[in-house]
């Protein structure tokens, strides 16, 4: 579109809006207020992250007074420093990826068949069983942390990535099971039976029908990935040696060790720590929303 066309279009909109405001002043006022509040909420939600990330591209020590919203000069010095001189990418990012991917695999492997079984089969006390797994989630995680610490100390898993993966997955499994059950409920009943009458065992029928739940599998995968990726207290408590740190822990130690905060470096580090989530957000926006909230996902 040429500039001129754009200009004409904008004038056209403006003209229409003005006419609308003249005819329905009340309605126009409501609309203006709504749009204004929505835009200010956008600013409220985006600026905090934007500002931290933008610090990553500002020259060191230029972050100061007065704050500048758009960096006047863009530098990759901070990012370069974090990537080259620290273990953020080499160790912590890799650890975080291992934990998150591991959690996704465990959650999918356990929640998918369970959700399927809850959706498809009659079982004794099904309702009680389903509610009880959600009820357990009501117990504050903090209450479990001390016994878990003892258990892992006894079995010698303390300070390993396995523990973080396992506990992160366990945290996600109840909601993931409900999510899968909800999706399988939307798959027509007859399919499993058609498969079984046609000569498939229950297990074969499950394998035939699971591909139909791809959207829910995607949502659950994202939910468990982001959940595990963002875990902070679990790895902080159960790991100690630096080689086992995941990104949130590394960020925390990074600041609390240095004392004086170098905002530019922090911005660079947080940007790296958020990158996979940002990528997921851009690529799978729809599943991302469904996955994060555990809300019912409508294909």
Partner 1 sequence: MSDSEPSYLDGFEARRETQTELSRLERLYDRVDQKLPYIMIAPVFIIVVGLMLYPAVWAFKLSLYDVPISNLDNQVFVGFQNYVEILMNSFFYKVMKNSVVFVSASVVGQVGIGVTLAVLLDRGWLDDRLARFFRATYILPWATTAVIVGYSWQFLLNPRVGLVNQFLRALGWANPPPWLTSVQWAIVGLIIMNIWRGTPFSMIFQTSGLQSIQESFYEAARVGGASRLQTVRNVTLPLLRPFILMNLILVTLFTFNVFGMILVMTGGGPLDATNVLALHMYQTAFSLGNFGKASALAVLLFLFNLLTVAFYLRVFGGVDQAI
Partner 2 sequence: MSTIDLENVTKRFGDVTAVENVDLTIEDGELLVLVGPSGCGKTTLLRTITGLELPTEGTISVDGNDVTGIPARKRDIALVFQNFALFPHMSVEENMSFNLRMQGDLDAEEIDQRVADIAEMLDISELLDRDISELSGGQKQRVSLGRAIVTNPAAFMLDEPLANLDANLRDQMETEIVRLQKQLGITTVHVTHNQSEAMTMGDRIAVMNDGELQQLGPPEEVFYEPANLFVAKFIGSPNMNLFDATVDADGAHLLEESGPGLAVPIDLDRSDPIVLGCRPEHVLVDRDDRSGGGWATLEIAFTEFHGASKYLFFDVGEDTELIARVDSDEPFAAGETVSVGFDPEQVHAFDPATDERIDQSARTDRTRIAEGTRPSDD
Q: Is 184 or 245 the residue whose CB approaches partner 2 more closely?
A: 184
C-alpha count within 13 angstroms, C-beta hemisphere, residue 240: 4
Going by C-beta distance under 8 Å and a sequence separation of 6 or more, which residues neighbour residue 99? 161, 164, 165, 168, 228, 229, 231, 235, 246
Torsion of CA 246, 250, 252, 254, to 10 degrees: 180
Q: Nearer Cβ to partner 1, position 67 or 90? A: 67
Closer by beta carbon to partner 2, 201 or else 293: 201
Say if residue 117 is exposed, middle or buried (CB neighbours under 10 Å; 0-12, 13-18, 19+): middle
Q: How far is the CB of 120 from partner 2 (least distance, A)?
A: 12
- Judged by beta carbon distances under 5 to 8 A according to partner kind, the member of partner 1, partner 2, none in contact with residue 67 is partner 1
Helices (H), 156-246: 161-185, 190-197, 202-209, 214-230, 233-238
Q: Is the dihedral of CA 152, 155, 157, 158 positive or negative?
A: positive
Q: What residue 108 binds from partner 2, partner 1, none (CB within 5 to 8 A, per partner kind)?
A: none
Binding map of partner 2 across residues 103-142, x = CB under 8 A, - = no contact: -------------------x--------------------
In the bound state with partner 2, the residue whose beta carbon lies nearer, of 137 and 201, is 201
Window 71-100: residues binding partner 1 (CB under 8 A): none
| Residue 218 is a binding residue for partner 2 (CB under 8 A) | no
The closest of 281, 297, 280 to 220, measured between CA atoms, is: 297
- CB 208 → partner 1: shortest distance, Å? 14
What would the two tokens of residue 10 be?
A: 């904008």
**Using the rule CB under 8 A, is 191 a contact of partner 2?**
yes
Binding footprint of partner 2 on the chain (CB under 8 A): 122, 188-191, 193-201, 204, 208, 211-212
């Amino acid at each position: 579109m040429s500039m001129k066309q754009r200009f004409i279009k904008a004038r056209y909109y403006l003209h229409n809006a003005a006419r609308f405001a003249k005819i329905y002043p009340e309605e126009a006022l409501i609309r203006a207020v709504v749009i204004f509040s929505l835009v200010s909420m956008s600013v409220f939600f985006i600026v905090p992250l934007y500002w931290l990330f933008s610090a990553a591209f500002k020259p060191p020590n230029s972050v100061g007074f007065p704050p500048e919203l758009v960096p006047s000069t863009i530098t990759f010095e901070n990012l370069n420093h974090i990537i080259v001189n620290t273990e953020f990418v080499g160790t912590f990012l890799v650890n975080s990826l291992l934990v998150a991917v591991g959690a996704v695999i465990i959650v999918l492997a356990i929640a998918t068949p369970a959700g399927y079984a809850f959706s498809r089969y009659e079982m004794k006390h099904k309702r009680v069983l389903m509610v009880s797994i959600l009820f357990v989630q009501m117990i504050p995680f903090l209450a479990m942390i001390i016994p878990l610490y003892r258990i892992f100390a006894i079995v010698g898993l303390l300070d390993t990535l396995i523990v973080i993966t396992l506990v992160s997955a366990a945290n996600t499994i109840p909601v993931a099971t409900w999510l899968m059950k909800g999706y399988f409920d939307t798959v027509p009943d007859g399919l499993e039976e058609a498969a079984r009458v046609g000569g498939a065992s229950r297990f074969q029928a499950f394998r035939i029908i699971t591909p139909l739940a791809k959207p829910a599998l995607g949502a659950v995968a994202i939910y468990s990935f982001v959940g595990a990726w963002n875990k902070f207290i679990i790895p902080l408590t159960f790991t100690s040696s630096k080689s086992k740190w995941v990104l949130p822990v590394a960020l925390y130690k990074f600041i609390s060790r240095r004392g004086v905060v170098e905002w530019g470096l922090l911005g660079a580090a947080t940007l790296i720590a958020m990158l996979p989530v940002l990528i997921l957000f851009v690529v799978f926006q729809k599943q991302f929303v469904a996955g994060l909230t555990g809300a019912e996902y409508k294909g």
